[in-house]
Amino acid sequence: MLIAGIIMVLLNVALLAPMSTGAVPDAVIENFEEFSKESACDDDDCTTAEDDWAVSSSQRDFYGYSITNVNDVMASGATPTYEKIGPVTYDITTTRTITGYDATAGELTYNSVKSFECAEDTTVPCDTEVSQLNIAFQTQVIGATGLAIGGIMDMTKAGFTAGMIANDLENTIPASIAASDLEMMLAHNTSVAGDAANGSILAGEYFYSLFNQYFAAMNLSGMGTSVNYTQAIQGAQQMAGEPVTFSGTEFSDITHAFNTATMPSGENVSMTSSLGVMAFAGHCDANPTENYSMVMADIMAAAGDPTAYTSGVMQRGGIWGYADTDINATIARDHAMCFGVGGQFLNAGGTDDTYLASNPASVNATRRMANFGFSLDDNSMALNVLLAGHNTSNPTGLLAVSEDGTSYGVANFMSMSTNQTNEAFGISEAQHNALALWAGGWLADVTSLPMVLLGGSGEMTASLFVNTTFGAEDPLNGGYLENSLNLGGFWGLPEGRDNIALDPAVSGNALYGPLGLTTSTGSAIFLYGELSGMTPPLNFSTSPPTPGTPMVWDEATIGALYGVDTNAAAAMRALMMGPIYGTTAESFVPGFLMSSFGATPYLTQSFNNWLL
């Protein structure tokens, strides 16, 4: 803690106003005044002080400068305008007590106590109000900045966790149900057909029969509800003067799709796994089955390279292994599989968030959570656990968000004891522990999101999400977070200035490393540089830093300290001195101190209070 102590001392000196430091020389002189022994001592041993020296009185005039536009300064950061206040006259009584006398050295030691009382003849009343910079507030802001940034990152983790809990309820659980249903269907088909290959063919043909019926019922051909998909394709071949070659899907063995399908990056996406159902259904939704001409164009453009396909039909047909040399058959199979597997997913409640509004047609919250092992008494209890305090100042439900969007119920839930959750939700200790294990798994990086679901690779955890979004684009939702180096997308708007795209490890070091902005030392050093224009007198090449020569605080220095380029260094400065540290209530740390503790950067009080 030695380094942090040095920094805070330096910061306190840097923040002292010139008016304050100007009094130091006089104070030093006064404390080392010279007196003759006779004027101070009443006896030869100097054990008793002369009365006139022991207690003396004088008058002194004081002046101050008061800011006349405090409200504008605090609201918008306007330049302060000053009014001179004074003279304010005080009667000063000095009481001295001898504490020691060295006759040989000729030194007398004593303590001196001064008392101030407003003079009756003062021109300006001593209770005149004066508005000035609250130096203590700036110290509070500096001290709280590292904690505040850490708190923002913790809230980002909580936001990620709330989103993942919602994803579990709306996608992971329904996908798990659908995968289980598909597995049972395959087992039944295998027993009927005699082997797994023929059982998988039965599944494909069943899905196609359902799609055929749906196609006709919805009049997707435009020729009436009696024309199914098979008939529509055959009719199109006839109208084109071609021989009728299409007779349906004619599925071959598709056990690969159900049991062993993997992405090129290695993830298991078999349709009897929840990940496989989500990946397949999501791909069908994002890339609906294309028509013959589009698929043919894709095949021609790929020129025999299966990794070059861009159509949903050919990508899915390759990954899940049901593509055929007959393009019409491949398209029909894709329709069938998307309809069958996607339908199972939707029937289990996939992508449906209307359960939160107690939609009777939706799979309700209790049933969804029961499939995750949470046995809650009824749907009312389940919804309360999820939504309690939503859009209020005190969210406590796992999906609840505060009215200002800055806090998440899942964070508050995780801080509650068993007794508190029992009182708030009526849940038992076992139910509390199960829910905390679920949410805590996301918060503590135990549970992760397979990024293959979003067209990427690897796993996304809460910590990785924080590090990624701090210095780059949001990998889940797109765009940029407000309290990040990209400032909600504003950083890259000016012409010639790029958006920040740091590697997550670099961002993690900027946040949590030896000089991390979430640490008291790191944030204090950064603010010292911003406020003074120089680094502290430290050698940063040693760990921990040792005394050294100060350096100019600029983008090059920041870049060297944090391993970033000058563009990212400039963004760090903009974030710290704008949205985070700032000077008005709009900035995070001052705003928090003002709203939570009533502290303000400028203080209005009587002249007495400023002086005494």
E strands in 220-321: none
Token pair listed for 313: 């039909």
The reported pLDDT for the residue numbered 328 is 95
> What phi, psi does 230 have (nearest 5°)?
-55, -45
pLDDT tens digit sequence for 551-561: 999 999 999 99
The reported pLDDT for the residue numbered 474 is 97
The answer on pLDDT for 54 being more than 70 is: yes
Q: How confident is the model at residue 29 (pLDDT cuts 50, 70, 90)?
A: very low
Place of tokens 């020389």: 25
> What phi, psi does 308 have (nearest 5°)?
-95, 0
Stretch 395-422: mean pLDDT, rounded? Answer: 96
The answer on pLDDT for 529 being more than 90 is: yes
The reported pLDDT for the residue numbered 28 is 41
Give the CA distances from residue 448 to residues 178, 179, 399, 461, in Å, rounded to whole numbers and listed in that order: 21, 20, 18, 5
The answer on pLDDT for 32 being more than 50 is: no
Place of tokens 């057909």: 193
The reported pLDDT for the residue numbered 528 is 92
The answer on pLDDT for 266 being more than 50 is: yes
Token pair listed for 219: 């009049």
Stretch 454-464: mean pLDDT, rounded? Answer: 95
Q: How confident is the model at residue 183 (pLDDT cuts 50, 70, 90)?
A: very high
Distance between CA atoms of 167 and 156, rounded to whole angstroms? 16
- The answer to whether the Cα torsion of 213, 218, 222, 224 is positive or negative is positive
The reported pLDDT for the residue numbered 372 is 79
Helical residues (DSSP H) of 168-239, grouped into ranges: 173-193, 196-217, 229-239
SS3 content of the chain, % helix, strand, coil (to 5): 50, 10, 35
pLDDT tens digit sequence for 184-238: 999 999 999 999 999 999 999 999 999 999 999 999 999 999 999 999 999 999 9
Stretch 326-345: mean pLDDT, rounded? Answer: 97
Task: Classify burial at 286, counting beta carbons within 10 Å of its beta carbon; exposed 0-12, middle 13-18, buried 19 or more.
Answer: exposed
Q: Indicate the range of 54-68, 402-416, 478-492 predicted with least confidence.
A: 54-68
Q: Which is higher by pLDDT, 20 or 284?
A: 284
The reported pLDDT for the residue numbered 173 is 95
Q: Indicate the range of 16-25, 297-306, 412-421, 476-485 predicted with least confidence.
A: 16-25
Distance between CA atoms of 334 and 207, rounded to whole angstroms? 10
Q: pTM of the predicted model, to two decimals? A: 0.80
pLDDT tens digit sequence for 581-612: 876 667 778 777 777 777 777 888 899 888 76
Stretch 393-398: mean pLDDT, rounded? Answer: 96
**Which string of DSSP letters, residue by residue, matches 367-428?**
HHHHTTT---S-HHHHHHHHHTTTTSSS--STT-B-TTSS-BHHHHHHT--HHHHHHHH---
* Mean pLDDT (the chain, rounded): 89
Token pair listed for 267: 């993830």
Residues in the chain: 612
Stretch 168-177: mean pLDDT, rounded? Answer: 96
Task: Give me the residue spans of the domains in the chain.
Answer: 1-34+462-581, 36-133, 171-347, 355-449
Q: Indicate the range of 136-140, 223-227, 278-282, 355-359 predicted with least confidence.
A: 136-140
Q: Indicate the range of 245-259, 280-294, 372-386 predicted with least confidence.
A: 372-386
Distance between CA atoms of 568 and 571, rounded to whole angstroms? 5
The reported pLDDT for the residue numbered 492 is 92
The reported pLDDT for the residue numbered 34 is 61
The answer on pLDDT for 427 being more than 90 is: yes
Q: Taking Cα atoms as reference points, which of 534, 203, 135, 194 lies closest to residue 341?
A: 203
Distance between CA atoms of 445 and 107, rounded to whole angstroms? 68
pLDDT tens digit sequence for 68-102: 998 888 777 788 999 999 999 999 999 998 888 88
Q: How confident is the model at residue 303 (pLDDT cuts 50, 70, 90)?
A: very high
pLDDT tens digit sequence for 97-116: 888 888 888 888 888 898 99
The reported pLDDT for the residue numbered 238 is 92
Q: Taking Cα atoms as reference points, which of 141, 132, 149 lies closest to residue 593?
A: 141
Q: Indicate the range of 201-215, 291-305, 357-371 predicted with least confidence.
A: 357-371
The answer on pLDDT for 16 being more than 50 is: no
The reported pLDDT for the residue numbered 585 is 64
Residue 587: CB atoms within 10 A of its CB come to 20
Distance between CA atoms of 308 and 487, rounded to whole angstroms? 36
Distance between CA atoms of 562 and 559, rounded to whole angstroms? 5
Task: Classify burial at 43, counting beta carbons within 10 Å of its beta carbon; exposed 0-12, middle 13-18, buried 19 or more.
Answer: exposed
The amino acid at residue 323 is: A
Q: How confident is the model at residue 373 (pLDDT cuts 50, 70, 90)?
A: confident
Provide the β-strand partners of residue 401.
Answer: 408
Stretch 9-15: mean pLDDT, rounded? Answer: 37
The answer on pLDDT for 43 being more than 90 is: no
Highest mean pLDDT among 268-277, 522-531, 539-548: 268-277
The reported pLDDT for the residue numbered 384 is 94
Q: Which positions ≥6 away from 125 have C-beta within 8 Å?
A: 88, 118, 607
Chain centroid to CA 424: 27
pLDDT tens digit sequence for 242-255: 999 998 878 999 99
Stretch 365-393: mean pLDDT, rounded? Answer: 90
